Amino acid sequence: MSAPSAPTASEPPRDPAALDRLIHEPARLVVVAILAAVDEADFVFLQRQTNLTAGNLSSHLARLEEAGYLEVEKGFRGKLPHTLLRLTADGRRAFERYRRELRRTLGEDE
């Protein structure tokens, strides 16, 4: 996915189409916002925080992973499967860029 250029503070409000559509989807936006606040979190935490079904959350995570925004580490805790999730550096940059673009689109000062 091509990343939109980072505008300067003096630029006028942007067209909403400039927003990163992958992050802009409401469920994925919450997922990315949560992961941006931590180093890493597991699937259980994310599912509880988002109230998404396991299947729905998995599909959103797969989209983020495909885009290179998310790193998924599957393992076991004892005999139980344990999935760790963390934003990549690209993912964090994309999220920060998205927030800047959103503020600009809404005409808010930074």
CA distances from 13 to 5, 83, 106, 107 (A): 14, 39, 7, 5
Distance CA 52, CA 60 (A): 10
Shortest Cβ 13–another protein spacing (Å): 18
Distance CA 74, CA 60 (A): 16
**23 to 42, contacts with another protein by CB under 8 A?**
26-27, 29-30, 33-34, 36-42
Cβ(40)–Cβ(86) under 8 Å?
Answer: yes
- The yes or no reply on residue 62 touching another protein (CB under 8 A) is yes
Closest by CA position to 52, among listed 81, 22, 27: 27
Supply angle C-alpha 78, 84, 89, rounded to 5. Answer: 155
Shortest Cβ 99–another protein spacing (Å): 7
Shortest Cβ 30–another protein spacing (Å): 5
- The yes or no reply on residue 89 touching another protein (CB under 8 A) is no
Among 57, 69, 91, 97, binds another protein (CB under 8 A): 57
Shortest Cβ 67–another protein spacing (Å): 15
Binding site for another protein (CB under 8 A): 26-27, 29-30, 33-34, 36-51, 54, 57-58, 61-62, 72, 74, 77, 80-85, 99
